[in-house]
Amino acid sequence: MHSGLADFIEANSEAIIDAAMVFAKTVEIGKPLDDEALRDHLPDIVEAVVKDLRTPQSREEQLAKSEGRARAAEGAPRTAAGTHALFRAHSGFSISQLVSEYRALRASVLRLWADSPGAANASPEEVTRFNEAIDEAIAESVGHFADEVERWRNIFLGVLGHDLRSPLNAIVMTSELLGKMAVDAPIATAAQRLIRSGQRMGELLDKLLVFNRAQIGIGFEIERKDVDLAQSCREEIEMLEATLPGARIDFESDGEVRGNFDEARVREALTNLVVNASKYGTRGAQIHVALRDSGEGVELSVRNAGAPVSRESFDLMFEPLRRAGIADGEAERVSLGLGLFIVSQIAEAHGGQIRGESSDGVTTFRMHLPRG
């Protein structure tokens, strides 16, 4: 496909790239880049635009591209625009600065083209195709840039969570030592407060690391062993009744319910579900926990009275950093919103699933776990 604009861009590529580099030099980042770094993959991007202009395109392909539905084939190598985005992300560019760079590239092409003799004979379709090619490159760059930023954010969270362990353990151990050495009540009380706060921080770190592992695709680790899940649930509920004095919790099961489960993780899931019911359900209402043998597996359910929950809300509840509802109190303000997300990860790691339902003022969460 012949394109006068494509021929013009190819013939004037160096002037176009130089103009784009002049703009890139104005971007304020931590460490100034030399000309080689500023040039980066700009020549490859310009070459890709020229190739796009010369490639025949159907009406359907044009529409898909304009609507952002054009996708690279699975397994295809990363484009020049994608690689350029990674280099700019590592160089300290922001996503808005990356987009502005493409705006400058577009402007330099159209400005030079408007001053050229061939512009008078150009068809509007050529300029439209050029703009579509630039927009497609922007979309590819923004996607890769965002993925790279997210990757480094998850690395940072993982390193932070890991490195905070040592000083936190030192604080808790020192607090326990002070508590044992205390000879008067005020110091012992202060030491216990430090210990509880340290344990709370440890729980928050655990949740953060679970979220981090899920985000980077590692998944949730479990250790299965033969266990009577009914007894484990009874013990966990006794602890919950002590830590949630305002909650009324009853438990029923089909006698002994044995299977290969990660006992600690199932107890953690039960705690998160009961705490969620206590926080968002009708205050003072009964929380009903049931464990049923379903043949190939078990079903653990937690039911509470409360305001009805929409289907759309249930779909969002198991996403990370979401909250099930709105509640008062300091505990809610410091919550990471990871409780139900962790429950879903525990169920998934066991090869099971968690779902919620709400009707007639009653909300129920059911976790199905195969015996393994």
Specify the DSSP element, H or E, that contains 122. none
End-to-end CA distance of the chain: 60
pLDDT at 331 over 60: no
Q: Which of 106, 98, 143 is nearest to 128 (CA)?
A: 106
**SS3 assignment, position 357:** strand
Band (pLDDT 50/70/90 cuts) for residue 73 is low
Q: What is the pTM of this model?
A: 0.53
CATH classification (class only), 4-153: mainly alpha
* Residue 298 pLDDT level (bands cut at 50, 70, 90): very high
Report which residue type is found at 168.
L
Question: Is the confidence at residue 199, as pLDDT, over 70?
Answer: yes
SS3 state of residue 173: helix
169/282 Cα distance (integer angstroms): 37
Mean pLDDT of the chain: 81
Q: Rounded to whole angstroms, what are the CA distances from 27 to 83, 96, 99, 231, 233? A: 19, 11, 12, 63, 58
In sequence order, which residues have a C-beta less than 8 Å from that of residue 153 and are 6 or more positions away? Answer: none
Least confident range from 50-54, 157-161, 199-203, 319-323: namely 319-323
2 pLDDT band (50/70/90 cuts)?
Answer: low
CB distance 273 to 236 below 8 Å: no
* Amino acid in position 65: K
More confident residue, 229 or 334: 229
Residues 6+ apart with CB under 8 A from 53: 1, 3, 5, 6, 9, 126, 129, 130, 133
Q: How far apart are CA 372 and CA 369, in angstroms?
A: 8
* Residue 225 or residue 323, greater confidence: 225
**Two structure tokens written together for 277:** 């019911």
Residue 83 pLDDT more than 80? yes
Distances (CA, A) of 120 to 12, 106, 116, 279: 17, 19, 8, 69
- Please state, for a pLDDT cut of 90, what percent of the chain lies above it: 18
Q: Which residue has the higher pLDDT, 70 or 189?
A: 189
Cβ 250 vs Cβ 238: under 8 Å: no
> Which residues, including other chains, have CB under 8 Å from residue 186's CB and lie 6 or more apart?
none
Domain range annotation of the chain? 4-153, 164-215, 225-370
CATH 3.10.450.750, applies to 225-370: no
* Model pLDDT for residues 171-191, shown as the tens digit of each residue: 888 888 888 887 778 888 888
Tokens of 64: 């898909």
Lowest average pLDDT, out of 128-137, 148-157, 241-250, goes to 148-157
At 334 the pLDDT is 40
Q: What is the DSSP letter of 121?
A: G
Higher-scoring residue by pLDDT: 76, 221: 221
pLDDT of residue 314: 77
User: Which residue, 333, 371, 319, 327, is CA-closest to 350?
Assistant: 371
φ/ψ (deg, to 5) at 365: -110, 130
Which of 35-49, 166-180, 238-252 reaches the highest mean pLDDT?
A: 238-252
